[in-house]
Amino acid sequence: MPQYPIFYRDFTVMDFLLYMCALKGIPAEQGKERAFKLLGIVNLLDAKDKKIGALSGGMRQRVGIVQAMLGYPKILILDEPTAGLDPSERIRFRNLISQFAQGRTILLATHIVTDVECIAKEIIILKEGALITQGTTDVLEQSIYGKVWEVTTNAKEAACLSNKYYVSNMKQQGENFSVRIVSDSSPATNAVKASPNLEDVFLYYFRGQ
């Protein structure tokens, strides 16, 4: 499923799905049965007679995954499926992906780290088309242990650190700042090692971009 699925906006949801069934070679009655079942799973049965052009972005994304599932594929490829969705729709869509993952392989291309953390069993990091690393969340986080640091300092020094190092997070604590830095070596005398998270992993491998 592409990041921005193209729909016939004047089709109703059901007409569109039946049309896609025909293109996939699925018999009409079987296609209608599958469409009803899948619309029920994604909570869109009440919208089956609405025109696609009248649906919200999140609802259109759900129509997109329904049409992708009509043929019950063994492998499902989703490109940035939650991009542009509000937080509640993003959570709903993540749950749908997990539900549809039973008995099949889902390849999820995304830059949204929380989606990866919530869904993926295995993570592959690509850079300019080349494989950089892969593994579970725990394996990837442990692979950069000792390269994530936290420094508590004043505003002036925090600004200097952010200009010199790759900062994954900075937050104010009273008059000071807590600065989280990804670096192969200690960035300051008072720096302490921090437990890496997945955002740190991505920053580590994509520093300078």
pLDDT in tens, the chain (209 residues): 877 788 889 999 999 999 999 999 999 999 999 999 999 988 899 999 999 999 988 889 899 989 999 999 999 998 988 877 788 888 888 888 888 888 899 998 888 888 888 888 899 999 888 999 999 999 999 999 999 999 999 999 999 999 999 999 999 999 999 999 999 999 999 999 999 999 999 999 988 65
Residue 130 lies in a domain: no
**Which DSSP state fits 53?**
G
| Residues 115 and 19 both lie in one domain | yes
The residue among 120, 151, 168 that closes a domain is 120
Residue 5 lies in a domain: no
- How many domains in the chain? 2
Q: What is the dihedral of CA 203, 206, 207, 208, to 10 degrees?
A: -140
Whole-model pTM: value is 0.75
Cα–Cα distances (Å) from 108 to 72, 122, 160, in that order, read: 17, 10, 37
Q: Are residues 93 and 188 in the same domain?
A: no
Task: Please check whether residues 114 and 30 belong to one and the same domain.
Answer: yes
Q: Are 44 and 13 in contact, with CB atoms under 8 Å apart?
A: yes
Residue count of the chain, please give it.
Answer: 209
Residue 3 token pair = 């990041």
Candidates 65, 208, 50, 40; CA nearest to 128 is: 208
Residues 22, 92: one domain? yes
Instruction: Identify whether residues 113 and 48 lie together within a single domain.
Output: yes
Q: Is residue 129 part of a domain?
A: no
Q: Which domain holds residue 108?
A: 13-120
Contact 109, 120 (CB under 8 A): no
